[in-house]
Structure 1
Amino acid sequence: PPNWAKVYDLTREMRRKIIAPVDTMGCERLAEREASPKDQRFQTLISLMLSSQTKDTATAAAVRGMQTQLPPPGLTLSNILAVSPTELNALIRQVGFHNNKTTYIKRTAEILRDSYNGDIPDTPEGLMSLPGVGPKMAYLCLAAAWDKVVGIGVDVHVHRITNLWGWHKTRNPEETRMALESWLPKDRWHEINHMLVGFGQTICLPVGRKCGECALAEQGLCPSAVVSKTVENKI
């Protein structure tokens, strides 16, 4: 798209100046640094599985609850295998679709034990074979857990905002991922998710976009900008 680099850089600049929920509570931030690398990878996967259709604050609270309320050392594969579905459901009750996610997490733990030597898969196909894990989670998990950037994690914010910018006309996040990967330089693939999720949480909101606070609207770079002009009342 024309001007894409200018739009991207201005958005990155705006993001540098704001702290969004994803910056402190995003799934990449939730694994315990003192845990073993294998446990950190498992915690990252569980964080992402809990995050779908759930606010970052609720996901973070559920993960912290599991880390502190499961027996020491907390959120590990062996503890998830041992915990009863009822207890697990209670620990994650603040996230969306917690009943489904309880089932997915218990089944995933069994698959990791039986097929992956107790670790998480290190390919998109392996991750997407797990219950409840789609392309977005798989690509974000690979980047955060294995430091492998092989695809763009496209969530509702990335899908919505890039369509608002007129970069493409796509019907769902998976179409958006394929469209972006066809031209966006690979060195941006990892950061675009984090950048646009935070932008969508703070300025380009799903409802009530703050176009008046957006540099793209100010510079005429966003075709969807709605800026209300305040008219002075002359007496």
Structure 2
Amino acid sequence: MGTPRETRREQAEEIVERLEEAYPDSTISLRYSNRLELLIAVILSAQCTDERVNTETEHLFEKYDGPEDYANAPQEELAEDLNSITYYNSKAGYIKESCRKILEEHDGEVPDTMSDLTDLPGVGRKTANVVLQHAHDVVEGIVVDTHVQRLSRRLGLTEEEYPAKIEVDLMELVPDGYWQQFTHLCIDHGRAVCTARNPDCDDCVLADICPSEKGDGGIDLASGEPW
């Protein structure tokens, strides 16, 4: 795309400002009441909708309490309790082994560092970022889910394809005070307007600054010229 880094920073700030106005109540949509429930919900949310996860965890969190319950549960039974979730067998194993590790290495408490969280089975940087931000009030990075990945590329904020590299680009562009909120704003906008297929560019608050807009193209904030 060839857009100067400084221009991309201006672009990112303008995007955040406009999306905050469009989605003033944007926040995490997963339902949980403690740190362990959040960790489990985020593990389950991989390649699965938050709506489906919330439906499933409503009864899951009633049946299982602390990490001991998950660690001691037969994996087949735990998997059966998750059978409407994508990849439920694998995720049951991740949850069971993560809880075992939490008991053995972290005194039954969900870890509060990136390295300890990503050392848990089934927990990558995206999951760890969510848990750090919403369970420990620690913001070390930007959660790059499918919506953030799609929007950041369409908006010209990155040319990378892999989440880890996209996160690095976004952390250079998005003001650090908005790292947490940026994800929620992208998720809301990605669901409502900038969908994977047939995005509604006509009703998009970012259309005039988006290089992927279907019309005549976006406007370069530095020059005022079309992209």
Q: TM-score scaled by structure 1?
A: 0.83
Shift of 1:104: 0.7
In the alignment, structure 1 residue 6 sits paired with structure 2 residue 7: no
Cross-structure match for 1:125: 115
1:232 paired residue number? none
Question: Kindly tell me: are residues 183 and 5 of structure 1, through their superposed partners in 2, closer, same or farther at Cα, counting changes over 3 Å?
Answer: closer
Whole-angstrom CA distance in 1 between matches of 2:152 and 2:94:
31
Structure-2 separation of matches of 1:148 and 1:110: 24
Matched to 1:31, the amino acid is Y
Aligned-residue sequence identity (percent) comes to: 25
Q: Extract unaligned runs of 5+ from structure 1.
A: 33-39, 229-235
Q: Deviations over 1:49-91 (max 9, x none)?
A: 10000011111112112022x1xxx432122123221221111
State the 1:227 CA deviation.
4.8
Pick which of 147-156 and 80-89 moved more.
80-89
- Alignment of 1:55 with 2:49, yes or no, is yes
Counterpart position of 1:87: 77
1:162 and 2:152 correspond = yes
| Partners of 1:6 and 1:41 in 2: CA distance | 33
Equivalent residue number for residue 23 of structure 2:
15
What's the secondary structure of 2:197's corresponding residue?
coil
Equivalence map 1:164-179=2 (5 Å): 164-179=154-169
Aligned to 1:212: 202
Equivalent residue for 1:233? none
3-state secondary structure, aligned to 1:4: helix
Counterpart residue identity of residue 15, structure 1: Y
Q: How far apart are the structure 2 equivalents of 1:214 and 1:203?
A: 6
Cα distance in 1, alignment partners of residues 12 and 192 from structure 2: 21
2:173 aligned counterpart, secondary structure: coil
Which residue matches 2:214? 226
Native 8 Å contact 2:13 2:175 kept in 1 = no
CA distance in 2, matches of 1:4, 1:42: 33
